[in-house]
Amino acid sequence: MKKTINVYDPYFKVNAVLQSYKSNNLTKLEQDLGIYEGALNNWRKIYRKCGPEGFSKNFSLKNRNEHHKESQLEKKIKKSELEFEILQRAGEHLMHGKPKIFHFMKDNEKRYSIRNMCKVLGIHRCTYRRWKDQYDTEQKRKKLIQKEITAIFFAAEKRYGKQRIKVALQNSGYQLAVKTVGNYMKELGLYCQISDKSNNFKEAAKHL
């Protein structure tokens, strides 16, 4: 015995979809309307994608192609807007060369893809990744040195300035310029405390 296939006109389908958005129970609504199980989910997809025209017999391949073209155009517009946004945000960094651009890219990796940023800013991905690997390595080394500086500073009861800490670091195998040590100490908020005796000597020297 052949299974009967029900054919529903477009007007019925559109009304069924509109009713489904007001109902909390799609299965019951399908039973009330006398349609097959899962019909409303299928019709909703067509309605969301193509609107009421999706149920029309006159909804030709040409209309489908036009809808596809509109969708592709929207994607291109969004892509252009994203590229413009990247360029706008990176504007102030472009004048200062690649290091600044690389820092911008690293700071914005969660906002934009590396691929898009490289394309818009004219950077090769492999070049950026090499810089990033080197930068991450340097940051790890910096944190290690700052940890060592902090340990030396407090072990010396806050009496060591950048010169003496440089020597202590050198004895531990770290070769750093005095200026670099001073900068690291400023970042850590470490300042040498001069003893009262030294302060009295300086005060007396002012009056000579």
How many percent of the chain have pLDDT more than 70? Answer: 83
Continuous H helices in 21-161: 26-33, 39-50, 61-94, 98-107, 114-121, 125-155
Q: What is d(CA 54, CA 81) in angstroms, rounded to the nearest whole number? A: 30
Phi, psi of 38 (to 5 degrees): 95, -5
Domain ranges of the chain: 10-59, 138-208
pLDDT tens digit sequence for 131-187: 999 999 988 988 988 898 898 888 888 888 888 888 888 888 888 888 888 888 888
Label residue 200 by pLDDT band (50, 70, 90): very low
Q: Which tokens hold the place of 42? A: 């299928």
pLDDT tens digit sequence for 64-74: 556 566 667 77
Is the pLDDT reported for residue 129 higher than 90? yes
